[in-house]
Amino acid sequence: MKVAIIGQGYVGLTISAFTSEFYEVVGFDSNLKIVSQLNSGFSHIEGVDSRDLQRAIKAGRYKATANGEDISDVDVVVIAVPTPLTPDRKPDLAFIEAACKTIGENIRSSVLVINESTSFPGTLRNYIKPSIEKYSKDKIDHLYAISPERVDPGRGDFNQKNTPRIYSGLTTEASKLTRDFYSRFCDELVEVSSPEVAEAAKLFENTFRQVNIALVNEFAQIAHSLGINVYETLDAANTKPYGFMKFTPSAGVGGHCIPVDPTYLAAVAEEHGAPATFIRRANEVNLEMSKYVVGRVLADNGGTLEGKSILVIGVAYKPNVADIRETAAELVIEHLRARGAVVSWHDEVVGTWKGETSSPLAGAEIAVVVTKHDSVKEADVISSAPYVFDTTGKIKGVRGL
């Protein structure tokens, strides 16, 4: 079986690596640099080992391409392209539309199209299917299914094999073929009654995280105002063996999922006249955390940051990945600079970002830890500045949330 995977980013390349064990995979990406890197055997995604990629290329089981014709004869197409927000924070299906164009224009016979990109309920039925049909000159009748991706990049304990996969086809045949496709490499498949349920479940999973993170971020502020240690309080609450799940405070949420997906749910809810008050407020609380963190640093430093050299430690949105999408570090840096601070950042996992490069982990007047990668030593953080503010709860003996 030959499989085309549209988009070779965090999701697409991860799924390519797994499927190429069983199928011949064509990884289609519109970014020529990524295509060329992948074909030379270099993986740009944490969790996908370059040596595995090289083995698959050598065995003729994987190749990357930006040429639509290379996907013309596949049996299955998986869509794994970005689903971001527009500048006015509305769902942006432009990448999905472009992927549908590639599929519609190039696929020559009926295939199974599976969407793994996250989007609102109805995307498969009302956008993807009509869009592919619009671009298909020969008006080919494809089979359509959804199986929202749940990968957590950089995570070792849960992967494509042992993370249960939700799926549903637009027809019984599409559901059956989707099950056959994933059952080669995924241990547990959960069929739901419609694609809309699968799409909504994915959005609700990430909304659950977003709202709980906002709640704990608000609680961190309450605990500080009461003179209570938030981490000790959370650990105490977490001794309850049922009905509680521990989330930890932070400078905000980042990545392509938690700050984005709930807004997809809120947008579709409001379109249908349903309230999305928790989702909207949670988003605000999480975005405001960066300002709160800077306010705490300011208060501890005599009420002014003017001219002070401040090192932000960790700009990736989470530990051990180079992903800077929607990172809270960006807002923290913006607020610090607005206060007149001279800000540099240290993050050797990210390396370069927005035209700036990672600075040494030393020599600042103030350090603010936003993300702590495992490779960063606690002692080096502590000695990087006379005043250290930690938003991660991982550095002992310094100021923090």
Ligand X SMILES: NC(=O)c1ccc[n+]([C@@H]2O[C@H](COP(=O)([O-])OP(=O)(O)OC[C@H]3O[C@@H](n4cnc5c(N)ncnc54)[C@H](O)[C@@H]3O)[C@@H](O)[C@H]2O)c1
Residues within the interface to ligand X (CB under 6 A): 6-12, 28-31, 34, 80-83, 95, 98-99, 102, 117-118, 149-151, 153, 256-257
CB of 84 to ligand X, least distance (A): 8
* Calpha distance 265→121 (Å, rounded): 8
Name beta bridge partners: 146. Answer: 115, 168
Q: How many Å separate Cα 164 from the centre of its chain?
A: 18
Handedness of CA 192, 195, 198, 204 (dihedral sign): negative
The residue type of 168 is: S
Q: Which is nearer to ligand X, 68 or 249 (CB)?
A: 68
Tokens of 251: 């400078």
DSSP 269-302: HHHTT---HHHHHHHHHHHHHHHHHHHHHHHHTT
DSSP 317-360: SSTT----TT-HHHHHHHHHHHTT-EEEEE-TTT-EETTEEPPP
CB of 377 to ligand X, least distance (A): 27
Tokens of 252: 């905000």
Residue (of 48, 55, 20) closest to 34 by Cα position: 48
Q: Of the listed 5, 257, 321, 343, which one is catalytic?
A: 257
Handedness of CA 184, 189, 191, 195 (dihedral sign): negative
Handedness of CA 239, 244, 245, 247 (dihedral sign): negative
CB of 89 to ligand X, least distance (A): 15
Q: Which is nearer to ligand X, 155 or 224 (CB)?
A: 155
The DSSP element (H or E) to which 79 belongs, if any, is strand 76-79
Which residue is nearest to ligand X, using beta carbons? Answer: 9
Q: Give, as one character, the DSSP assignment of residue 311.
A: E
Q: Which is nearer to ligand X, 150 or 335 (CB)?
A: 150
Q: Which is nearer to ligand X, 97 or 378 (CB)?
A: 97
CB of 98 to ligand X, least distance (A): 3
257 catalytically annotated: yes
Residue (of 222, 221, 248, 224) closest to 234 by Cα position: 248
* Calpha distance 78→91 (Å, rounded): 20
Which three-class secondary structure state does DSSP give residue 367? strand
CB of 373 to ligand X, least distance (A): 17
CB of 153 to ligand X, least distance (A): 5
CB of 220 to ligand X, least distance (A): 25
Q: Which is nearer to ligand X, 150 or 373 (CB)?
A: 150
Q: Which is nearer to ligand X, 11 or 220 (CB)?
A: 11
Q: Which is nearer to ligand X, 4 or 370 (CB)?
A: 4
Beta strand 165-169 pairing with 143-146: antiparallel
The residues carrying an active-site annotation are 257
